[in-house]
Amino acid sequence: MNNFIFENKTKVYFGKGCVGEYLPKIAAVHGDKVLFAYGGGSIKKNGVYEEVIAALEKAGKTIIEFPGIMENPTYKKVLEGTKLVKEKQVDWILAVGGGSVMDCSKAISMAAVSEKDVWDEYWAKKGVVDFEPMPLGVIVTASGTGSECNGGAVITNEEVMIKTDRDYPKCNPEFALMDPTYTYTVPTKQMVAGSFDILSHVMETYFSEPDEDNVSDDISEALMRGVITSLRAALVNPEDYTARSNLMWLSTMAENRIIKLGKKCDFECHQMEHQISAYTNCSHGCGLAVLHPVYYRHICQAGAKKFTRFAENVWKIPRNGRTDEEMAEAGVEALADFIREIGLPTTLREVGVEKKEDLKEIADSCYLVDGSYKKMTHEEILEIFLECF
Ligand code: NZQ
Ligand code: ZN
């Protein structure tokens, strides 16, 4: 394994009823004024809004609502929230939603106390967060991103058409309340997209060096099998508590830094998806589903031994005399079959790319990462995009 330092400051309260039981106590030890940040209104239809308000009122808090955080949150929305925090002299932030609400709230927690333009200083480039952001807690309503237990925040700057992810440990929420029953109302399409996002996070970690025996790869295989099994069960019965709780914790486990320890990680597919999303505003998990099989067909021979292990240990494909190269391909095809089985899109047209001619500009805007079995060039990314079109 490569050397590492591990830290994760988020305290997790997991399980049915955790919000009503713990939020009043947690709120009691925080300041008077809380910014209650949420999305487009799903929490007003499923009872979560009332439960959160009741818990905050029980603790005697002054609630300042910040609704309307959109999917793929924009820097403009971050600035709007920051203005409200400053005007109302908010003490702490409670984000209630999926990755978009949590990410936007993390950026607000930084902008609330920083004198700098946070896009320029912390998203356009990797900055140094040498201050304490405003305290932030989260209540997760959709599984997928794992934002609840990391410092990651993905923000879209519409003016420059760039969607950038940064992970600052100081932005880890102080606490995360995770009630799996809150995810029962997530629309099927979003549940499937979020689950694929989990799978992608694990794969992007697993398919990178080192490849000798290591804890991370063993855990990753269990997580990938878990996503496949739990998603299939949740598709049959959306109110399957076991499946929903597994998906929720799988989501956290994939992105709480644990499986990344000692690994290089290859998040190139995420970089490609973020730029597709910056241009089309597509759902993150849907964009990933289109790109992954094609990207892996490009790189699997460079990491044939690992893709063989993936085929054998995740998809249970028997050897039957096949070479590593053939097994590697079979593993990627099993992934492609699964994507079709769960009904995710398979072309960029389906996620909103209208013209082939647009793909060059998008490909050129993608960030090239180190850590892949085969480092991409912008020309190869364009090739992949064209194959996906
Ligand atoms: O906005 P509302 O009305 O709440 O509806 C949301 C939204 O329309 C809905 N939803 C959420 N919980 C629900 C629900 N609907 C009914 N019942 C519920 N309980 O789901 C829709 C999607 O929500 P969103 O938060 O956008 O989805 P997700 O959690 O997939 O987050 C996606 C964002 O996170 C970023 C993505 O790029 C994207 O911007 N990511 C963040 C990461 C991180 N911070 O570590 C890592 C990821 O790789 C990812 O890039
Ligand atoms: Zn993701």
**Torsion angle of alpha carbons 24, 29, 31, 32, nearest 10°?**
40
- Please provide the DSSP assignment of 189-229 as one string: HHHHHHHHHHHHHHHHHHSSS--SS-HHHHHHHHHHHHHHH
Separation of first and last alpha carbons in the chain: 38
Question: What ligand is nearest to the CA atom of residue 141?
Answer: 1
- Across the range 148-159, mean pLDDT stands at 98
Instruction: Please tell me the number of Cα atoms within 13 Å of 193 on its side-chain side.
Output: 21
**Residue of the CA atom closest to atom 26 of ligand 1:** 71
Give the atom of ligand 1 at the shortest distance from the alpha carbon of 101. 25
Handedness of CA 73, 203, 338, 359 (dihedral sign): positive
Nearest CA to ligand 1 atom 42: 145
Residues 6+ apart with CB under 8 A from 259: 202, 205, 206, 216, 219, 220, 223, 253
Say how many Å lie between the CA of residue 145 and the centre of ligand 2: 5
Query: Which pLDDT belongs to residue 273?
Result: 98
What is the DSSP code (8-state) at residue 74?
A: B
Q: Is pLDDT above 90 for 168?
A: yes
287 lines ligand 1 (CB under 6 A): no
pTM of this prediction? 0.98
HSE-CB for 74 with a 13 A CA cutoff = 13
- Sequence letter at residue 27: A
Query: Could you tell me the two tokens for 223?
Result: 């997580």
Q: What is the mean pLDDT of residues 286-292?
A: 98
pLDDT mean over 64-93: 98
Q: How many CA atoms lie within 13 A of 320 on its CB side?
A: 7
Q: Which residue has the tokens 């237990």?
A: 149
Q: Give the pair of three-digit tokens for residue 100.
A: 């978009």
Mutation test of ligand 1: which of 154, 162, 202 has the most ligand atoms closer than 8 Å to its C-beta? 154
Asked whether 144 lines ligand 1 (CB < 6 A), one says yes
The reply to whether omega before 210 is within 30° of 0 (cis) is yes
User: What domains appear along the chain, each with residue ranges and CATH number?
Assistant: 11-182 (3.40.50.1970), 188-388 (1.20.1090.10)
pLDDT tens, 307-353?
999 999 999 999 999 999 999 999 999 999 999 999 999 999 999 99
Alpha-carbon distance of 38 to 94, in angstroms, equals 9
Ligand having the closest approach to the CA of 146? 1
Beta-carbon count within 10 A of 241 CB = 14
Greatest Cα-to-Cα distance within the chain, rounded to the nearest angstrom: 69
How many angstroms separate the CA atoms of 209 and 198, rounded? 20
pLDDT tens sequence across 203-249 = 999 999 999 999 999 999 999 999 999 999 999 999 999 999 999 99
Q: Which atom of ligand 1 is nearest to the CA of 156?
A: 39
Quick check: CB of 151 below 6 Å from ligand 1?
no
The reported pLDDT for the residue numbered 375 is: 93
Integer-rounded Cα radius of gyration of the chain: 21
Element (H, E) at 155: strand 152-157
Q: Does the Cβ of 152 fall within 6 Å of ligand 1? A: yes
365 lines ligand 1 (CB under 6 A): no
The stretch 132-141 carries a mean pLDDT of 98
148 in contact with ligand 1, CB cutoff 6 A: no
- For ligand 1, mutation pick of 52, 100, 283 (most atoms within 8 Å of CB): 100
Tell me if 214 sits within 8 A of 221, measured CB to CB: no
Going from the Cα of 248 to the center of ligand 1, the distance in angstroms, rounded, reads 13
Ligand nearest the Cα atom of residue 292: 2
| Model ipTM value | 0.99
The predicted structure's pLDDT at residue 1: 86
Cβ 134 vs Cβ 109: under 8 Å? yes
Centroid of chain to Cα 63: 28
In this structure, the residue with its CA closest to atom 39 of ligand 1 is: 72
Question: In the structure, what pLDDT confidence band is assigned to residue 2 with cuts at 50, 70 and 90?
Answer: confident
What's the pLDDT score for residue 386?
98
The set of residues, in sequence order, having a beta carbon less than 8 Å from that of 332 and lying 6+ positions away, is 293, 296, 297, 300, 307
